[in-house]
Structure 1
Amino acid sequence: MSMETTTQDLSNITRPVGFYIRGFYALKKGEYYFIFLAVIYVLTLVSNAILMLIICFAQTLHTPKYMAVFSLAVVDISLSSALIPRAVHMYVFDSKFVYYNPCIAQIFFVHYFASMESFSLCVLAYDRIIAICFPLRSSVLNTHCKMMLIITVAWTIPFIINVVMAALILPLNYCKSTIVNSFFCDHGPVFKIACGDYSKNWFMASFTTVALYFVPSGFIAVSYIFIINAILKIKSSEGRLKAFKTCSSHLMLVAIFFVPFCVTYIVAWVEIAILLQIG
């Protein structure tokens, strides 16, 4: 496959017109997979939109906890919108080509909202630890202003880190392949096909993974150590059950998000270790 490029003489950077996304084209009966994706996307939009409307119009839900839930709903819709429509469009219209600038934009938005999902689950963990470990002081420790500040910080930190991560793609030269081994414009597969030194991109990818995923998951794990300890100190079984029920939905969301993420990175690091040994 020949590669079309546009060369910026002033900066000596050779950029492709775009990239070819390999995606799921090797899957048997892939049309069923994309129908499934489309259904998931519609359900995500509808369910989160309804949840947001309920929180907006129900005065009793205007609490710090539901501020965090509202933020998570926004992130869910944004992440799905950054990822699924383009994947479905690629398959339905057999459009594997993505122009350079939209590709860089997708790298930023997908990773930004994915990391925001991680931070939003962190914010909910903070709310749970305050509610269960400090029930008598929760209204003082977790006010509307404090929750708004926490949510603002949770949106800002991933934004800055992901802007830097996406910006580091721009100086890379592409002189060989433009085939991205992913189902979307993913950060790693895009910088790995560049020519020359991309050690900064490797470092940024590693830093982003640790700062935006492993640190939040570590915080959530530690928070639940304190939460479980507090629940065990509750004398009545009804009280313990009630406290556990308040955490069950959050634990389910944490498992759905972090378990596939951790498995993916464990498999990736095992593959890298095997390649290094073979090399």
Structure 2
Amino acid sequence: MNLFNSALGKNITFVRPAYFIISGFSGIPNIKYFYVFLCFVYIVSVLGNTVVMAVIYLDRNLRTPKYIAVFNLAFVDLLGSSALIPKLLDIFLFSHRYISYNNCLTFLFFCYTFLSMQVFNLVALSYDRLIAIMHPLRYQVKVTHRFMLSLIASFWLFAIISILVLVGLLTRLSFCRSVVINSYFCDHGQIYRLACNDNTPSYLLAEFLIALILLCPLAFIMLSYVCIGYALSKVATAQERYKAFKTCTAHLSLVAIYFMPILITFTMSSGIHPNARIINLSLTSVFPPMLNPIIYVLQTQEIKASVKKILSQKGIQREGEENYH
């Protein structure tokens, strides 16, 4: 981060506050019930994503390129929930609204990295479904373990570098006025708007990354499903079309859960009360990690079959131990 500062000249001094104040949920009536709800969401997120990861790890039949992406999505959801929700509860439930400058930037880095990786995982899964339906005979050649691992690794590298640059640009800003962040976490947009020197680089990079991390993936996913729909329209029978499309329902549900609240909130931002906007955005951050494993367990036949097999094996093992004793 000092690289950003040295590039601007040795004589420049930046005014960095000792702390920021996160004011997000203050003034919202009955907010304590929302904190209870967040506790429930976090417990379900941790249990659900742990179960999905364990099932994929234990069942060798699920060690396919598709489930490498599903495993990584569960891993990212677990880390994202653990980075965000406990800190939210600490800030607002226990009134620890003061957060140090360095801790705030660290909090921002992890939250944005995991949120970015959630989107990139949806892109990987979208590509998997696109090739599986458009080129079923070449699927094993096009989507290999090595390809999927390389794709996910490149997504991780891009997300980490992008957010590091985003955080690095914040370190060249001076904060000589307010240090109150009107959000539920260390929101990048709220922070750079507090600066009293030129925040144009932070603004431009934020707009660029919104297009690159949100809009471009959404456009790719929508285009992939246009192609999938076109391919399915050429399938001979309705039963075959339904069977092929059914393999996409879990992924489509994840896309809708992630993108629809974001699009609704930002398209209607002018008519939404600031408190309602904060609640909506916070739910957008915590809901997908909770619902993703539930959707994959309920809507994916392979995972349901694997869960039943693992449970039946445990039951047989338990009966054998009881008979032995």
**TM-score computed with the length of structure 2 as normaliser:** 0.78
Deviation beyond 6 Å, 4+ runs, structure 1: none
Measured in 1, the distance between the counterparts of 2:165 and 2:213 equals: 13
| SS in structure 1 at match of 2:170 | coil
Mapping of 1:109-258 within 5 angstroms? 109-258=110-259
- Name the counterpart of 1:276: none
Q: Are the structure 2 counterparts of residues 157 and 269 from structure 1 closer, same or farther at C-alpha, using a change threshold of 3 Å?
A: farther
Measured in 1, the distance between the counterparts of 2:60 and 2:111 equals: 33
- Name the counterpart of 1:65: 66
Bigger helix fraction: 2
- Name the counterpart of 1:277: none
| SS in structure 1 at match of 2:67 | helix
**Cα offset, 1:265, TM superposition:** 2.9
Amino acid paired to 1:171: R
**Cα offset, 1:253, TM superposition:** 0.4
Measured in 1, the distance between the counterparts of 2:191 and 2:16 equals: 12
Higher relative CO (CA 8 A, sep ≥ 6), structure 1 or 2? 2
**Cα offset, 1:264, TM superposition:** 2.9
**Cα offset, 1:262, TM superposition:** 1.8
Measured in 2, the distance between the counterparts of 1:269 and 1:94 equals: 29
Mapping of 1:96-115 within 5 angstroms? 96-115=97-116
Cα RMSD, aligned residues only: 1.5
Per-residue deviation, residues 37-60 of structure 1 (Å, max 9, x unmatched):
111111111100010000001000
Amino acid paired to 2:192: F
Amino acid paired to 1:224: Y
Measured in 2, the distance between the counterparts of 1:236 and 1:200 equals: 54
Per-residue deviation, residues 50-73 of structure 1 (Å, max 9, x unmatched):
100000010000100000100111
Structure 2: runs of 5 or more not aligned: 1-9, 273-325
Structure 1: runs of 5 or more not aligned: 1-8, 272-279
**TM-score computed with the length of structure 1 as normaliser:** 0.91
Amino acid paired to 1:181: N
| SS in structure 2 at match of 1:98 | strand
| SS in structure 2 at match of 1:20 | strand
Amino acid paired to 2:48: S
Measured in 2, the distance between the counterparts of 1:39 and 1:162 equals: 29
Amino acid paired to 1:236: T
**Cα offset, 1:132, TM superposition:** 0.8
**Cα offset, 1:23, TM superposition:** 1.2
Per-residue deviation, residues 191-242 of structure 1 (Å, max 9, x unmatched):
1111111011110110110011101111101100111111121112221111
| SS in structure 1 at match of 2:16 | strand
Q: Are the structure 2 counterparts of residues 36 and 119 from structure 1 closer, same or farther at C-alpha, using a change threshold of 3 Å?
A: same
**Cα offset, 1:81, TM superposition:** 1.5
Measured in 1, the distance between the counterparts of 2:227 and 2:51 equals: 33
- Name the counterpart of 2:77: 76
| SS in structure 2 at match of 1:211 | helix
- Count how many residue pairs are aligned between Structure 1 and Structure 2: 263
Measured in 2, the distance between the counterparts of 1:132 and 1:147 equals: 17
Measured in 2, the distance between the counterparts of 1:115 and 1:267 equals: 23
Amino acid paired to 1:124: L
- Name the counterpart of 2:30: 29
